[in-house]
Amino acid sequence: MRSSEMADEVTLYADGRSPFVCRVKIALNMKGIKYKNMEEDLQNKSGALLNYNPVHKKVPVLVHNGNPILESLVIVEYLDNVWERVPILPQDPYEKAAARFWAKFIDDKCIPALYKVFSSKGEEEQVITEACEQLQILEDELELKGKKFFGGDNINLVDIAADFIAYWLQLLEEATEMKLVTRSKFPKITEWAEGFVNCQVVKEMLPPRAIMLAYYKNRFGKI
Amino acid sequence: MRSSEMADEVTLYADGRSPFVCRVKIALNMKGIKYKNMEEDLQNKSGALLNYNPVHKKVPVLVHNGNPILESLVIVEYLDNVWERVPILPQDPYEKAAARFWAKFIDDKCIPALYKVFSSKGEEEQVITEACEQLQILEDELELKGKKFFGGDNINLVDIAADFIAYWLQLLEEATEMKLVTRSKFPKITEWAEGFVNCQVVKEMLPPRAIMLAYYKNRFGKI
């Protein structure tokens, strides 16, 4: 425990439905950090949120002893830097770089490709093909790794970055009746996702299934 | 000096024109790391490049003692991790997170907005407005900081991430006769860019002006 830890004030500006916010919540839970959750109404953002994140005006924002930290993966790295217990990033520099590479791949390639599938009108076949290509790269990485998680025997930054794929994607699929990740096509991702959402530190932070499903049905579902 | 350093083998798969490759070269230069430069023909990529970076098939790739490291900013962080002399990232966790935030902002917002300006046909006014909005955010940050560099008195990760804005942008502007960053509109960025390209460790690694100008005129210039 750091000597100053007793005095730590940690506040999370959040939207409980967001997979990006959930990344930070999982990290906070892994580290056992007590924090105050400030739920934002994204239609009517608080002055505090706009003040702390004037560039993107987005959640999550973590405020630690008055200092705002922005961008979900930057926040997760920050938490791992300041609270060393239960490491989230590998210690070895090469393994660390590899984890950052995969987390960035998920953010830059996978998630945009998957969002496109569910928000596209027309040209569906093309966007599905593209999304499956990205997923296949993750499938191959899990196969190559041969472990339960991207992190090995325990979850790490990459697993946390992929929380959308483990939980939200399945709900989106159900809401829209459009199945991308089948057990036969992506066996490793399927198995990994089951393992991930059943980790105690993850499970405790996921938004309720029913709420997410209703939200997605309303937003993306068929009428 | 790390005990193993004498045996380090460092190879950079590169395209000398790329601002992303140049980020890595600046970091290597700052650290005084000897490396082998493997210039790639991007129309006919080497088997080694495709083997080391099968996901993106892109430069830069840094290979350190047989281990490939991918993504320019991930490589810069790796170099900073392994070679501690002449730090590139701040040591303080909050300052470190802030640097990562700004580097990500440059990659996710500024550079795409700027590329759009020079590759767009029609709708030019809109894309120029958007690019200037992103630049204004950087201008304000420099103003707020009140220092020579984003890193303070010395360059850090953010300055390196912004190398495109300091050097390549000006050449693009000249090639296309379309000026975005004027001294009157963006005085801080102008001053910062001059300071940055005149740092010895940076200047030594920039591709020659004439070559870049000819390349951009050919690619983006008016006929």
Residue A3 clears pLDDT 60, i.e. is over it: no
Is the domain of B199 the same as that of B148? Answer: yes
Q: What is the predicted pLDDT for the residue at B41?
A: 96
Q: In terms of residues, how long is chain A?
A: 223
Residue A81 to residue B93, Cβ atoms within 8 A? yes
Rg (CA), chain A: 18
Least CB-CB distance to A94: which of B67, B71, B96? B67
Q: Is B34 helix (H, G, I), strand (E, B) or coil?
A: coil
Domain with A39 in it? 5-82
**Final residue in a domain of this structure, among B82, B110, B132:** B82
Taking the CA of residue B56 and the nearest CA in chain A, the distance in Å comes to 9
Residue B104 to residue A78, Cβ atoms within 8 A? no
Is the domain of B65 the same as that of B97? Answer: no
Residue B97 to residue A104, Cβ atoms within 8 A? no
Please indicate, yes or no, if residue B51 is contained in any of the structural domains: yes
Residues 6 or more apart whose CB falls under 8 angstroms from that of A198 comprise none
Is the domain of A111 the same as that of A180? Answer: yes
Is the domain of B20 the same as that of B108? Answer: no
Sheet of strand A61-64, all strands in order from the earlier edge strand to the far edge: A36-39, A10-14, A61-64, A67-70
Nearest-CA neighbor of A89 among B100, B65, B10, B62?
Answer: B100
**Final residue in a domain of this structure, among B82, B105, B122:** B82
Residue A19 clears pLDDT 70, i.e. is over it: yes
B19-62 pLDDT tens trace: 999 999 999 999 999 999 999 999 999 999 999 999 999 999 99
Q: Return d(Cα A86, Cα B70) in angstroms, integer.
A: 26
Residue B74 to residue A67, Cβ atoms within 8 A? no
Quote the percentage of chain B above a pLDDT of 90: 89
CATH code, domain with B27: 3.40.30.10
Nearest chain B residue to A84 by CA distance is: B93
Concatenating the DSSP letter of every residue in B161-217 gives HTHIIIIIHHHHHHHHT-----TTT-HHHHHHHHHHHTSHHHHTTSPPHHHHHHHHH
Is the domain of B109 the same as that of B216? Answer: yes
Please indicate, yes or no, if residue B88 is contained in any of the structural domains: no
Q: What is the predicted pLDDT for the residue at B109?
A: 97
Least CB-CB distance to A74: which of B55, B67, B100? B100
Please indicate, yes or no, if residue B212 is contained in any of the structural domains: yes
pLDDT band at B105 (very low <50, low <70, confident <90, very high): very high
Spell out the alpha helix ranges (H) of chain A: 19-31, 47-52, 72-82, 93-105, 111-119, 124-145, 157-161, 163, 169-176, 187-197, 200-203, 209-220
A122-178 pLDDT tens trace: 678 899 999 999 999 999 999 999 999 999 999 999 999 999 999 999 999 999 998
**Beta-bridge partners for B39:** B14
Residues of B in contact with A90 (CB under 8 A): none
User: In whole numbers, what is the pLDDT of chain B averaged over residues?
Assistant: 94
Mutate to test the interface with A, among B71, B75, B107 (most CBs of A within 10 A): B71
Is the domain of B35 the same as that of B108? Answer: no
Is the domain of B68 the same as that of B118? Answer: no
Is the domain of A211 the same as that of A104? Answer: yes
Is the domain of A68 the same as that of A13? Answer: yes
Nearest chain B residue to A91 by CA distance is: B81
Please indicate, yes or no, if residue A88 is contained in any of the structural domains: no
Please indicate, yes or no, if residue B87 is contained in any of the structural domains: no
Residue B75 to residue A82, Cβ atoms within 8 A? no
Residue B64 to residue A100, Cβ atoms within 8 A? no
**Final residue in a domain of this structure, among B82, B109, B128:** B82
Number of domains in chain B: 2
Residues 21-80 in A contacting B (C-alpha not used; CB under 8 Å): 55, 64, 67, 69-71, 74-75, 77-78
Please indicate, yes or no, if residue A46 is contained in any of the structural domains: yes
Q: Return d(Cα B173, Cα A49) in angstroms, integer.
A: 36
pLDDT band at A55 (very low <50, low <70, confident <90, very high): very high
Which helix or strand (DSSP H or E) is residue B64 part of?
strand B61-64
Please indicate, yes or no, if residue A109 is contained in any of the structural domains: yes
Q: B147 and chain A: CB distance < 8 Å anywhere?
A: no
CATH code, domain with A190: 1.20.1050.10
Is the domain of B124 the same as that of B172? Answer: yes
Please indicate, yes or no, if residue A196 is contained in any of the structural domains: yes
ipTM value: 0.95
Least CB-CB distance to B74: which of A74, A82, A97? A97
Nearest chain A residue to B135 by CA distance is: A55
Residues of A in contact with B77 (CB under 8 A): 97, 100
Concatenating the DSSP letter of every residue in A86-103 gives S-SS-SSHHHHHHHHHHH
Nearest chain B residue to A63 by CA distance is: B94
Residues of B in contact with A70 (CB under 8 A): 97, 101
Nearest chain A residue to B134 by CA distance is: A55
Residue A77 to residue B97, Cβ atoms within 8 A? yes
Q: What is the predicted pLDDT for the residue at B100?
A: 98
Q: Return d(Cα B22, Cα B29) in angstroms, integer.
A: 10
Is the domain of A65 the same as that of A103? Answer: no
Q: Is A182 helix (H, G, I), strand (E, B) or coil?
A: coil
Is the domain of B143 the same as that of B68? Answer: no
B167-181 pLDDT tens trace: 999 999 999 998 999
The pair phi, psi for residue A191, each rounded to 5°, is -65, -45
